[in-house]
Structure 1
Amino acid sequence: MLQYTIRRLFSLIPVMCIVSIIVFMIIHLTPGNPAHLILGEDASEESIKQLEEQLGLDQPIVMQYVNWVKDIVTGDFGQSVYSSEPVLDIILGRLGPTFSITIVSIIMILVISIPIAIAAVWKRNTLIDPLFISISLLGVSIPEFWFAMLLVLGFAVSIPLFPVAGYIPMADGIFQWLYHLILPSFVLAAVEIGLVARMLRDGMLESVNQDYIRTARAKGVKESIVLMKHVFSNALIPTTTVIGAMVAGLLGGTVIIETMFTIPGMGQLLVDSIYRRDYPIIQGVILFIAVVYVIVNLLVDLLYTFLDPRIRYD
């Protein structure tokens, strides 16, 4: 396991190099002079030249990339053009709201999708199976922004059960923190509940008629124990893969939700930086999300050995 982990960590280096090149080129190959776009049409040539020197835009494109990567390796993501604060400090200051929404969304997904999948398999020969799956898949078909507007109009305006917008840190009270996260987290969760429930259900249906399951039933084991101990555990491997990709996807999916609910997370930071043309922050946020995505995939691969003892990487 240790050797495999070390190999995987080294294999992340070329992946992150490719990701860094893509992020860098997206920003620096956009039409127009970045310094001119940041300062506006009325900016003087002197101020544009000064900003180019500050951002290193006066150097060849290859040297710009090399210097940017060297700074990132040392933990220097540059400074914000808008506020002159270190980019890394700004990103770390926005992690709390984004991770809060992601964690609450994951809990909602697991709490709702797992019972739906188990009930669908348990009652697989009745109308409950297609009914549950049809309801769970509604979230996949509904656009996030439209669903968020419906929830706000229904449960924050017409029936004022939840706040319309805003965020309260956990340090100010866990109940207020959770109270402000329920609506935005449920919007994110609704999109993924159907996918996780469907994947878990399909995995369980593949195992429910296997020989070892028939043997367990022949020994008199209760159906509920068979489903939970044998069928459910064997369906966790493909479901865990989906959940791993979903975790990283939720971090990127908070862009719309944080903007709509006025939550000061990384999503709103990215949108504000795009409007301000704050290129160092845009690069830093995109690269940070990519790093999280790669690390989550590595952790999912390592988690397989705990879910299935038959898997051994060494």
Structure 2
Amino acid sequence: MLKYTVNRLLSTIPVMIIVSIIVFMIVHLTPGNPAYLILGEDSSEESIAQLEKQLGLDQPIVVQFFDWFKNVITGDLGQSIYSSEPVLQIILDRLGPTFSLMMLSMTLALAIAIPAAIFVVWKRNTIVDPLFIFTSLLGVSIPEFWFAMLLVLGVAVAIPIFPVAGYVPIVESVNLWFYHLILPAIVLATVEIGLIARMLRDSMLDNVHQDYTKTVRAQGIKESMILMKYVFANALIPTTTVVGTMVAGLLGGAIIVETMFTIPGIGQLLIDSIHRRDYPVIQGVVLIIAGIYFLINLLIDLLYTFLDPRIRYD
């Protein structure tokens, strides 16, 4: 397994190089001049040209890329054009709110999806099953920004139960942390609940009528015990794969949700940096997100060996 892990980590090098090139080209070929945005509309052409030279934006794009990539290899993501702060430090300061939102959303999704799927399989061939399918499809189909606006209007404006914006670190107050994050977490979890529950339900139904379950039933074991001890365990691998892809959905959804609820995470940072044409920050955020997604998928692959001892990567 160690050899497999090392090979997977080494395979990230060409992937991250390709991601770096694509992100750099997209960012720098997008219309907009950071120097013009910083100095304002009343600035002269001379002052804009001077600031471009100071920022290195007057160099050919190939030279700019290799200068930036040379620093990235050493762990230096550069400095923000807007604030002159180190990009890596800016991103690290914003990871806390994003990870808090993702963890709370994932906890809600798993806490609801897993019991719901088990209950539906237990009540299969009843009215519960079609109702579940309709509800899960509805949850997957709801646009996150639209659902967020409904929640804001319903339980934050019309009936002011929860705040519409802001964030409190968990180290300051757990109650306030949960109070500010529960609405955006519900928005992010809704789509994932439908995906996880539907996948777990389908996987469990595939195992319900297998020979091993018939043998266990013949021994007089209760159906609920069969579902929990045998069927659920064998349905975990495909469900775990969906949970791994869920991370990508949460990271993508966090960009929208953090902007709507004014949460100071990397999603909000990315949107603000795009508006400011802060190239180093945009590139750094995308690289960090790509790296996180790759590591999560690696952890999911390694988790398979614990869920099913028959799986060996050696």
Same fold (TM over 0.5): yes
Corresponding residue for residue 202 of structure 1: 202
Alpha-carbon shift at residue 52 of structure 1 (Å): 2.9
Alpha-carbon shift at residue 57 of structure 1 (Å): 2.8
Say yes or no: does 1:139 pair with 2:139.
yes
1:37-85 Cα shifts (integer Å, max 9, x gaps): 6545543333333333333333333332222112112221111111111
- How do 1:38-187 and structure 2 match up within 5 A? 39=39, 42-187=42-187
Corresponding residue for residue 284 of structure 1: 284
1:171 alignment partner, SS class: coil
Corresponding residue for residue 4 of structure 1: 4
Say yes or no: does 1:217 pair with 2:217.
yes
Alpha-carbon shift at residue 133 of structure 1 (Å): 2.5
C-alpha distance in structure 2 between counterparts of 1:68 and 1:253, whole Å: 28
- Whether the aligned pair in 2 keeps the contact of 1:133 and 1:197 (CA below 8 Å) is no
C-alpha distance in structure 2 between counterparts of 1:310 and 1:53, whole Å: 60
C-alpha distance in structure 2 between counterparts of 1:193 and 1:121, whole Å: 16
Say yes or no: does 1:310 pair with 2:313.
no
Give the residue type in structure 2 aligned to 1:229: K
- TM-score, normalised to structure 2, is 0.95
- How do 1:213-292 and structure 2 match up within 5 A? 213-292=213-292
Alpha-carbon shift at residue 101 of structure 1 (Å): 0.6
- Whether the aligned pair in 2 keeps the contact of 1:248 and 1:296 (CA below 8 Å) is no
Corresponding residue for residue 189 of structure 2: 189
C-alpha distance in structure 2 between counterparts of 1:37 and 1:28, whole Å: 15
C-alpha distance in structure 2 between counterparts of 1:161 and 1:150, whole Å: 14
- Whether the aligned pair in 1 keeps the contact of 2:136 and 2:197 (CA below 8 Å) is yes
Alpha-carbon shift at residue 29 of structure 1 (Å): 2.0
C-alpha distance in structure 2 between counterparts of 1:120 and 1:298, whole Å: 31
The 1:16–1:49 alpha-carbon spacing in structure 2 relative to 1, beyond 3 Å, is same
1:170 alignment partner, SS class: coil
The 1:53–1:84 alpha-carbon spacing in structure 2 relative to 1, beyond 3 Å, is same
Give the residue type in structure 2 aligned to 1:146: W
- TM-score, normalised to structure 1, is 0.95
C-alpha distance in structure 1 between counterparts of 2:50 and 2:6, whole Å: 44
C-alpha distance in structure 2 between counterparts of 1:70 and 1:229, whole Å: 53
Give the residue type in structure 1 aligned to 2:69: V
Q: Supply the RMSD in Å over aligned alpha carbons.
A: 1.6
**Alignment gaps of 5+ in structure 2:** none
C-alpha distance in structure 1 between counterparts of 2:47 and 2:225, whole Å: 72
Aligned residues: 314
* Structure 1 stretch displaced more, 267-276 or 104-113: 267-276
- Whether the aligned pair in 1 keeps the contact of 2:97 and 2:169 (CA below 8 Å) is yes
Say yes or no: does 1:27 pair with 2:27.
yes
Percent identity over the alignment is 73
